[in-house]
Structure 1
Amino acid sequence: MGVNAAPTASTRPPVLRRLGPPLAALAAVAVPAVYIAAVDPNAPGHYPDCPFLAATGWWCPGCGGLRCVHALAHGDLSGALHDNASAVLLFAVLAVLWLRWLWAVSVGGPAPRIAPGARRWALIALLVLVFTVVRNLPVGAGLAPPLV
Structure 2
Amino acid sequence: MADIGRRGSDRLRSVLAPLGVAAAAGVVFAVVGTIDPNEPGHYPTCPFLWATGLYCPGCGTLRTIHALAHLDPAAALGLNPLAVAMIPFLVFWWGRWLVRALQGRPRRTSLAHPAWLWAFLALVLVYWVVRNLPFGAFLAP
Q: Same fold (TM over 0.5)?
A: yes
CA–CA distance in structure 2, aligned partners of residues 64 and 50 of structure 1: 9
Tell me what 2:24 maps to.
28
Output aligned runs, 1:37-76, within 5 Å: 37-76=33-72
Output aligned runs, 1:119-130, within 5 Å: 119-130=115-126
Task: Say whether the 8 Å CA contact 1:58–1:136 is kept in structure 2.
Answer: yes
Q: Which has the higher helix share?
A: 2
- Identify which range, 110-119 or 78-87, moves more after superposition: 110-119
CA–CA distance in structure 2, aligned partners of residues 85 and 59 of structure 1: 13
Tell me what 1:12 maps to.
7
3-state DSSP class of the match of 2:80? helix
Pair 106,119 (structure 1): closer, same or farther in 2 beyond 3 Å: closer
**1:84 aligned partner, one-letter code:** N
CA–CA distance in structure 1, aligned partners of residues 103 and 57 of structure 2: 37
Structure 1, gaps ≥5 residues long: 1-7
Q: TM-score, normalised by structure 2?
A: 0.83
Deviation at 1:9, TM superposition (A): 5.9
Deviation at 1:23, TM superposition (A): 0.7
CA–CA distance in structure 2, aligned partners of residues 70 and 108 of structure 1: 35
Deviation at 1:115, TM superposition (A): 4.4
Structure 2, gaps ≥5 residues long: none
Pair 122,100 (structure 1): closer, same or farther in 2 beyond 3 Å: closer
Deviations 1:44-89, CA, capped at 9 Å, x for gaps: 1111111211221111111001011111111111211111111122
Task: Say whether the 8 Å CA contact 1:100–1:112 is kept in structure 2.
Answer: no
Deviation at 1:11, TM superposition (A): 5.5
Q: CA RMSD in A?
A: 2.2
Identity %: 46
Tell me what 1:86 maps to.
82
3-state DSSP class of the match of 2:8? coil
CA–CA distance in structure 2, aligned partners of residues 77 and 42 of structure 1: 16
CA–CA distance in structure 2, aligned partners of residues 132 and 100 of structure 1: 29
CA–CA distance in structure 1, aligned partners of residues 94 and 66 of structure 2: 21
